[in-house]
A and B are shown apart, each in its own frame.
Chain A
Amino acid sequence: MNALTEIYGSGLASSGKTSVLISLLAHATQQHFCALVDADDSFDPASARAAGVNFFRLLWVRCGKHKSKLKPMEQAFKTTDMLLQSGGFGLIVVDLSSLGERLVRKVPLTTWFRFSRVVEKQRTALVFLSQQPHATSCAGLVLSLKARPAVWSGKLLVQFKLEAEVMRMREKKPPQSAKPNFSLRAEWA
């Protein structure tokens, strides 16, 4: 709450960032209204339902689906701005991880700083999902995700192992060896 969080992981290889995002939404929508700003329309409602997301408390904004003067990333940032101004959302997630890395890198630092300042005054958690960290010192928490070898049962993919690393934490310094591991279960496993 009251901070900007950045979760990042590889774009080509599986890193588990989408699974973490959906798990976050599943827990947050039990108590709060949440918004997902989907810059590239890559959210899968079937996965979300399996994870237990309460759709009635989820606002999904699909960017880049309509001919507009604005590019999908500009649409996503403007939408996030409006949602923050509107208030009432416990969690706002902005998924930029399908956008080109060079494009997101062009976002000026002042934009991240402004988001950080706005969210500080609200009871809202603002989470950005991307391939690389961009908010730098504006983020209250930066989390890096990497996938480890998957578990197969015969012909079936049943489990993902993830390694998370806290790259930055504003409240207190992260421990040097903080690399918690956790696993993701396949829906059919």
Chain B
Amino acid sequence: MFACLFVPDFRVQAVLRLEPETSREILKQSPVAILDGPASLPRVVATNEPARLAGIEMNMTRQQVETCGRVWRRKRSPANENAAQAALLDCAASFSPRVESTAPGTVILDLAGTEKLFGSTQALARKIAHQAAEFGFELNIAVAANPDTAFYAARGFSGITMIPAGEEAERLSSLTVDVLSTSPEMLDILDSWGIRNFHALALLPPVPVVERLGQEGLQLQKIARGETRRPIVPAEAAADFVESFEFDDPVGTLESLTFILNRLLQQICARLTARSLATNELRLKLGLEVRQLKTGENKEFYERTWKLPLPIQDPKVLFRLAYLDLEGNTQPAPIEKIIVQAVPVKPRYAQSGLFAPASPETEQLEITLARIRGIVGSTDENGIACVGSPRMLDSHKPDSFTVQPFSGINEEAEELDSTPADAPIISLRIFRPALQTAVELAREKPCSVSLHKKQLRVLAASGPWRSSGNWWSTSSAWARDEWDVALKTTEGVGFYRIYLDRIKGQWFVEGGFD
């Protein structure tokens, strides 16, 4: 058996599925016209049923549409239509591995072998309709023994249609010939013969039909009789999960943006879930309305990428991450376009052990870290992250480190072989950046160091410990003579590490042993 999912008024639904929940429900009941063409003279390219009842016809101009009362006008977006088709495929792919992308807004899936998973075909059709509603589609679904019968039944009958094997001709008989995918000339010929529906076409004798209309005519008659047999062409799964939205009027406030952003993320997560996938990298691109005076093109974008330590499917977490970032970064211009992309990966399933140490909840942790970044900043002046897990760099240069994202995953932590030292180690408290100082020498050894505007006497000194590196590079070369000194302070003896930068010829205090 084959099921066909057909989205009536696909171009309208492709735009409406990205609208926020509340406005989408209103728009479904209201006349909507999709306009396309040059900005000076856009014309209607798609309408919904209320719009047709209000008198809106194809190719009407904007001015003509305005005379038909209150009609919601939306710009056509091919990117939205592609994303909607991909979403429809994802919706179908959650029920069958063999799915054909037949036409925009139409997919056919092979139901062979799915009975054990989803039950009877009626129950399966209801589940598909429910799933499609979560994707924002209102579908016609038809189930039949061959793909073409399912296709025309879905196009011709609204709701769910079940056609048992052997009853194809009888059930299709009431369909008008207008639903056939053929040329207008062929439809004119059929009309001139008085052929109005599938029943009349099916009753014609085959040989005279071939003599007058050729093989195409015979094929149309086979369709009307429900006798066609063809294999479906399975579509490849979409490699990227992208959703975009173009505002009719650029928005300047975060609140206006978040409604759409939330909806886009919900759509992406629904698609990922349908494919049993998750994402560990989310990319956001905002198109800003910045006019280039010479070319007239908009070229300014705000881009942001989040790399997550764990694959996530929850749209609320992704929305929160994006919202916190946008809240902290005010955009210099109104936003006219928003593009969200998720990199798909397999979800991670882990069973926590009884004796495993407690760890922060990963999704909650990501939001907490995003909030902390909002307070302390993302990176310092050297581009090193301000929040994360420290890592040593493979370098002899002192204080060489980087900060990696903190994952909070036990498995990763257990891979690292680290055991605490037998006895506590004397640790250094670093001054970043190192404090420039003045050092007096006696017999080539420091005898007095200036620290915090005070001249402190050196009680003992250990050094010099000479090191250098990157001598081949003028910008990153370093060379130093290091001393560990005991200084007499007002509070007692302080142990410090000082060094002479041999390239700059200056003394610095690197830190104190504490």
Contact = CB atoms under 8 A, between A and B. Distances in A.
Q: Do A and B bind each other?
A: yes
Contacts of B430: 41-44
A27 B462 CA distance: 30
Interface stretch (B78-86, B87-95, B383-391): B383-391
Interface stretch (A102-110, A135-143, A153-161): A153-161
Interface residues of B, number: 68
Given A45-B401, A65-B377, A182 B489 contact: no
Interface in A38-64: 41-64
A90 B392 contact: no
A14 B484 CA distance: 13
Contact of B425 (A10, A11, A51): A51
B241 to A, nearest CB: 29
Given A60-B403, A87-B360, A185-B426, A11 B420 contact: no
A78 to B, nearest CB: 5
A94 interface: no
Contacts of A9: 514
A61 B425 contact: no
| Secondary structure class of chain B's binding surface, majority of residues | mixed
Given A19-B514, A87-B360, A55 B429 contact: no
Given A55-B416, A66-B380, A75-B375, 14 more contacts: A47-B425, A47-B428, A51-B424, A52-B419, A52-B420, A53-B418, A54-B413, A56-B407, A62-B386, A65-B377, A66-B386, A146-B492, A156-B462, A160-B426
A20 B424 contact: yes
Given A68-B375, A150-B493, A50 B425 contact: yes
24 contacts: A16-B514, A19-B514, A22-B424, A26-B421, A46-B392, A46-B401, A48-B390, A51-B420, A54-B413, A59-B389, A60-B390, A62-B386, A75-B376, A79-B375, A82-B368, A85-B368, A86-B361, A86-B365, A87-B360, A88-B358, A157-B426, A157-B460, A160-B513, A185-B426
Nearest to A87: B360
Contact of A19 (B357, B372, B425, B493): B425
Contact of B427 (A19, A67, A70): A19
Contact of B357 (A20, A31, A79, A183): A31
A182 B513 CA distance: 16
A86 B426 contact: no
A83 B371 CA distance: 10
The 6 A-B residue pairs whose C-beta atoms are closest, nearest first, are A66-B377, A88-B360, A13-B492, A56-B413, A65-B380, A47-B427
A181 interface: no
B452 interface: yes
Interface of B: 357-361, 364-365, 368-369, 371-372, 375-381, 386-392, 398-399, 401, 403, 406-409, 412-413, 415-416, 418-421, 423-432, 452, 460, 462-463, 484, 486, 489-495, 511-514
A157 B391 contact: no
A61 B391 CA distance: 14
Nearest to B388: A60
Contact of B493 (A13, A21, A26, A186): A13
Contacts of A10: 491-492, 494
A54 B489 CA distance: 34
A57 B386 CA distance: 16
B192 to A, nearest CB: 75
A187 interface: yes
B390 A42 contact: no
Contacts of A184: 423-426
Given A12-B489, A86-B368, A59 B460 contact: no
